[in-house]
Chains A and B, each alone.
Chain A
Amino acid sequence: MKRRDILKLAGAGGVLLLSGTAAAGDTQGMASNDDALGVLVDTTVCIGCRKCEWACNQANALSSRDSKAFEDKSVCRKQRRPVDDAFTVVNAFDGRRSDGEPSYMKIQCMHCFKPACVSACLVGALRKTPEGPVTYDSWKCMGCRYCMVACPFQIPAYEYSDPLTPRVRKCTFCAERLGEGKKPACVEICPNEALTFGKRRDLVMLAYSRIRQFPDRYVDHVYGENEAGGTSWMYLSPVDFTKTELPALNSRPIPEITETIQHGVFRWFVPPVLLYGILGLSMISMKTGDQDKKEDDNGA
């Protein structure tokens, strides 16, 4: 954080022009906070009622659609993605239920511990808070939409419909509600309590205790425990996660590669020093070359 502030000051001095990405969010200093909050999504319990979609719509004042608009369950069969006026969607998948019914998976921002969107953001509009949520500040955002490209879950959406003040839109983890001591709106409304809200550390333990208790019901994998360096939202599934729409990711944080390269290259102001050094050296060598030539000319 401190380094970023220093760099921002330096940016004002013009050095920023040369060390282009130095102001980008730095996720390397972030450690997974033990007390960070999270949500465990149990897809074997979810019934696809879409109440979470409606509650999200209400809590974030996303659209004027009323509760009836969220009662049509057939839309779950389409593979929908979160969009600018729907931060979460519930999609059906084949969970191999004995009654032939589909299983359901709620999709929203995973609130990664080392978010690629935060890393990619040039201006620090996206921020990972120690409590868990990845928050967004539309005042800082300049609309480059690098976050949308960077996110491995393809979550951030953009208000293309608003030509004047478009914002990047994604699940906020109801950061404001959490500040008031409430649960996220989707968790609060879930009739089947398929969503469990709590400290992430406890949720991981809960997830594994469920797997141990009902080994036939779940695959032995808690998605999000390690994926992309760990996420605040995690999932339990009755089938292998490769058969769901969640992407297969290893435990390496997404920003790690880019940050390693960029932070390595730009460490110690190497590019400006190198640039001016080479310039200086070539100027000196050119000057001495000129002098030699003059001397040669004089001598001749």
Chain B
Amino acid sequence: MKRKDNIFGISAVITIVIGLAVAFGPTADLSAREMPKVNCSQCHSCETPTAQNPCLTNCPRMSQVNVAGRHDLSEAPKVLILNKLVNQYGAVHFNHKLHAEMAGMNQGCTTCHHYSPEGHISPCSECHGKEGQSANLGQPGLKGAFHRQCISCHREWSHDTDCRICHMPLEGKSTSSGTTIDSTDIVGISHVRLVEPEKKVYYTSYKGKPVVTFFHKDHTELFNLRCVDCHTKENCSGCHDIEKPVRAAKSEAEVHAVCSGCHASNSCETCHDSREKPAFAHGSTGWPLNQYHVKLECRGCHPTGKRISRLRADCVACHGSWNPQNFQHAVTGLQLDKTHAEVDCGDCHRDKRYDVKPDCSTCHDDNRSPEKAPPGHYVKTRG
């Protein structure tokens, strides 16, 4: 009996110890912290990275979390003064906002912030060390990171790599900031607002139907497309090249590649026509919009997906929640009298078919019609 007690006691102690270990041990710590959703292999090339040998893969890591879409341009800093490495030249007053606006036509924030873990956008200095190349030879130091980022685009369009394009002159070697120019000089300079065209008409070599009318605004507004969704390979030099003012036309394959992302299953005639296509009219779908519907945003009725889906034509498909209490019948031009205002909609509009003539026979035996004996009085409708 005593031995049995002992065994019971020991097992109880073990259970408590294990329980405590589970509750307060490292496992509990891990579950309590919110672990970022990153895959180890995004950064580490080996199975078991250590502090001594982190075996980091080379940057830029293309598979990194994309920050575009999670951050708005208005959150971005406007002007950054880069003076951590002032040595031979003065600081650089970097108009961050202006560049971020231009990056909108490229790959957004990720054009420069090629690595950003979940939650925030990393500044260059978070990874790139001030002291130059780190133990990971593949990762440039802060100096290299800055210069490569700036010069690679700047030389593309300005065909110049002069240091003074970006650097302020260093007034003697005594001042640490290295510049006498006020950063307010460049505050507020913005990229020219890009005017979005209503439509573009292209004349192609397609036989018989050479004209392609592209409704640019419809695509961005209706389908919620961002600039970069179509303008995938634009870069600064596409617009700014000082030696090539006229940009090269895209090849046939390039243009088709952009459109076929959505229009892959369409026939050529969807886009190509013998003449300029008229703008979209809702009546062409067999459902002309009335005075109320015409005021609505397309997405108000066709909310889901990139494609505009065909809706059911009956009213309750959208207005199923309407009842005699919350529907103002006067908007139809007929103000119901007190008696009829309390009647259920379906009593007059049989089977909830609002597009056919209402039926009075549910309550009235005298074969009356709503034209001859209206259930209220006609009013002038708004709008």
Interfacial residues, chain A to chain B (CB-CB below 8 A): 45, 47-49, 67, 71, 73, 98-101, 183, 188, 190-193, 196-198, 202-203, 206, 209-210, 213
Q: Is B243 an interface residue (CB 8 A)?
A: yes
CB of B99 to closest CB in A, whole Å: 18
Contact (Cβ within 8 A) B161 A49: yes
Contact (Cβ within 8 A) B58 A213: yes
A49, A73, A192 pick with most chain B CB within 10 angstroms: A192
Residue of A nearest to B88 (CB): A67
Contact (Cβ within 8 A) B138 A193: no
Contact (Cβ within 8 A) B137 A210: no
Count of B interface residues, CB-CB < 8 Å: 23
Q: Of the candidates B133, B157, B163, which one forms a contact with A49 in the assembled complex, judged by CB atoms under 8 Å apart? A: B163
Given A206-B137, A209-B58, A210-B58, A191 contacting B144 (CB threshold 8 A): yes
Contact (Cβ within 8 A) A192 B148: yes
B window 118-175: CB within 8 A of A: 132-133, 137-138, 140-141, 143-144, 147-148, 151, 155-157, 159, 161-163
Interfacial residues, chain B to chain A (CB-CB below 8 A): 58, 88, 132-133, 137-138, 140-141, 143-144, 147-148, 151, 155-157, 159, 161-163, 237, 241, 243
Residue of A nearest to B164 (CB): A71
Q: Of the candidates B137, B140, B161, which one forms a contact with A73 in the assembled complex, judged by CB atoms under 8 Å apart? A: B161
Q: Of the candidates B132, B138, B151, which one forms a contact with A192 in the assembled complex, judged by CB atoms under 8 Å apart? A: B151
The interface residues of chain B lying within 8 Å CB-to-CB of A198 are: 133, 137
The interface residues of chain B lying within 8 Å CB-to-CB of A193 are: 132-133, 140-141, 143-144, 147-148
Q: A48-B161, A192-B151 are in contact. List 13 more A-B contacts (CB 8 A).
A: A45-B148, A47-B151, A47-B161, A67-B88, A99-B157, A188-B132, A190-B144, A191-B147, A191-B151, A192-B144, A193-B132, A193-B148, A210-B58
Contact (Cβ within 8 A) B137 A202: yes
Tally inter-chain residue pairs, CB-CB below 8 A: 56
In the bound assembly, the distance between CA atoms of A196 and B138 in angstroms comes to 9
CB of A175 to closest CB in B, whole Å: 20
The interface residues of chain A lying within 8 Å CB-to-CB of B141 are: 193
Contact (Cβ within 8 A) B155 A47: yes
Given A48-B161, A99-B237, A100-B243, A203 contacting B137 (CB threshold 8 A): yes
Q: List 29 A-B contacts (CB under 8 A).
A: A45-B148, A47-B151, A47-B155, A49-B163, A71-B162, A73-B161, A98-B156, A99-B156, A99-B159, A99-B237, A100-B243, A101-B155, A101-B156, A188-B132, A191-B147, A192-B144, A192-B147, A192-B148, A193-B141, A193-B143, A193-B144, A193-B148, A196-B137, A197-B133, A202-B137, A206-B137, A206-B138, A209-B58, A210-B58
